[in-house]
Amino acid sequence: MAFESKKNNVTEQLCTTVKLPKMVRVRQSFDPTHIEPADLPAVVRGELLREAVRQNIKPGMSIGITCGSRGIANIAIIIKTIVDFVKECGAEPFVFPAMGSHGGATVPGQLDVLKSYNVTEETMGCPIKATMETVYLGDTVEGSPVYIDKNAHEADGVILCGRIKAHTAFRGPYESGLMKMAVIGMGKQHGAESVHESGFNNMGRVMPQFARVIFDHTNVVAGVGLIENAFDQTFKVAGLSAAEIWEKEPELLKEAKTKMGRIWIEKTDVLVVDKIGKNFSGDGMDPNVTGAFACPESAKDGTPGPIDAQRIVVLDLTDETHGNANGIGVADVTTKRLVDKTDVDITYPNAVTSTVVNIVKMPIFTHTDESAVKLALRTCNMIDKENPRIVHIENTMELGHIWVSEALIDEVKAHPNLEIDGELEDWGFDENGNLW
């Protein structure tokens, strides 16, 4: 099958009659409250100084600090502050990648992810201990085996550091957060595979069972839970003891959900996403924003938030995702550029481990951004194709500005959280039909 031609291929010909509307930039309003990066060390240190936390870190202890694969804001600053605090307590810190099967489920791959976040031995001032080897801790009450990172198991204590937010595939009192970091992050590929065996329909029930075994066999000396606002900025830092993680994470999750970014337009014909990647969401693009859930039966709970789009177009992958195209399977149209950037050896382990294989299926693709958008519009049903509703975003993490088609202007003007921030203009495709 040849794909050399950029213009004279079948999909281009099928879309020649499709006309794209003019677009206008729109500002979306969210709560901007956040902690400035320069203030973070003092805030993190203050949380760790709480007596419930500080008393657990004793001189001479070997303390492992988790660092995951998500694109957490200011993560290098936060991890470095934890490292320095552990040293102040007279203990010996090390950082280890806690990211399940991400990074291709290999040591070099996981170290590359940490390096991309500027988390290295040089920047952290302590060892980075990476292994895919795990230790079997026992079984859950339902008989599932539980594993933990070998280096974490051999440490005298562990500090869990992670962002608390809505999960992309299930609902429960504990979703993405410190509990998930303990079970799936520290569980590496073996642990992640074991907990995913029951499927996402049961994840809200079984994940705490796995966590119970881990906490019973691991000295979790502290947790550092992070909440971000809709602008990918650190909103809150919560230093917690092991017992407080169980008690307080559900409330922190509820708070995190109120700070999430969203698209204030409720319904559109076509949603165009410039880039997806693991640095934005575990699913490449957050379905809590796009509405495209890979596991709708376990995650879609009917609460307002996700936009309802008939077709979703994804144009590219981020460099930070290292070829991991997890999430592309819920798109309807993409580009050959994205296909060429996809590294299946990095992408597939994630899908196999999670057992959600539809999320890495490659959708129909075109040679240019322009033809991808046109193809999506052409295949919409029962819409006004002369005045289509199109929403265009850069990614699902940066939603302060979006672009909407002319047909949505009246809706934007009527919405209290939306404001026109420009003039109507053409898409700006270059001579090759691409946006960049």
Q: Does position 299 have pLDDT exceeding 70, yes or no? A: yes
Task: Decide yes or no: CATH 3.40.50.11440 for domain 37-258.
Answer: yes
Q: Does position 102 have pLDDT exceeding 80, yes or no? A: no
Q: Does position 5 have pLDDT exceeding 70, yes or no? A: no
**Residue 4, pLDDT score:** 47
Contact 279, 317 (CB under 8 A): no
Buried (b) or exposed (e) across 20-58, using 16+ Cβ within 10 A? Answer: bbebbbbebebeeebbeeeebbebbbebbeeeebbebbe
- pLDDT tens digit sequence for 344-375: 998 998 888 888 899 999 999 999 999 999 99
Residues near 400 by beta carbon (within 8 Å), at least 6 away in sequence: 27, 28, 30, 230, 231
More confident residue, 84 or 116: 84
Residues 353/359/364/368 CA torsion (nearest 10 deg):
-90
Extents of the domains making up the chain: 10-30+261-420, 37-258
Confidence band, pLDDT 50/70/90 cuts, at residue 1: very low
Q: What is the pTM of this model?
A: 0.85
User: Which pair of tokens denotes residue 122?
Assistant: 């040089």
Q: Does position 169 have pLDDT exceeding 90, yes or no? A: no
**326 Cα distance to chain centroid:** 10
CA atoms of 284 and 116, how far apart (whole Å): 17
Contact 263, 312 (CB under 8 A): no
E strand or H helix at 158: strand 157-163
* Range with lowest mean pLDDT among 53-57, 195-199, 403-407: 195-199
CA atoms of 168 and 262, how far apart (whole Å): 14
**Residue 365, pLDDT score:** 95
Total residues belonging to the chain = 436
Q: What is residue 242's three-state secondary structure? A: helix
CA atoms of 229 and 257, how far apart (whole Å): 9
Residues near 38 by beta carbon (within 8 Å), at least 6 away in sequence: none
**Rg, C-alpha atoms of the chain:** 22
Q: Does position 70 have pLDDT exceeding 80, yes or no? A: no
- pLDDT tens digit sequence for 391-411: 999 999 999 999 999 999 999
Q: Does position 71 have pLDDT exceeding 90, yes or no? A: no
More confident residue, 208 or 8: 208
- pLDDT tens digit sequence for 224-270: 999 999 998 999 999 999 999 999 999 999 999 999 999 999 999 99
**Residue 6, pLDDT score:** 52
| Crossing angle for the helix pair 188-196 and 344-354, to the nearest 10 degrees | 50
Looking at 199-241, list the stretches that DSSP marks H as alpha helix, in order from N- to C-terminal side: 203-217
Confidence band, pLDDT 50/70/90 cuts, at residue 2: very low
CA atoms of 344 and 352, how far apart (whole Å): 11
**Residue 304, pLDDT score:** 64
- pLDDT tens digit sequence for 125-147: 999 999 999 999 999 999 999 99
Q: Does position 273 have pLDDT exceeding 90, yes or no? A: yes
* Range with lowest mean pLDDT among 51-60, 111-120, 346-355: 346-355
Confidence band, pLDDT 50/70/90 cuts, at residue 381: very high
Confidence band, pLDDT 50/70/90 cuts, at residue 302: low
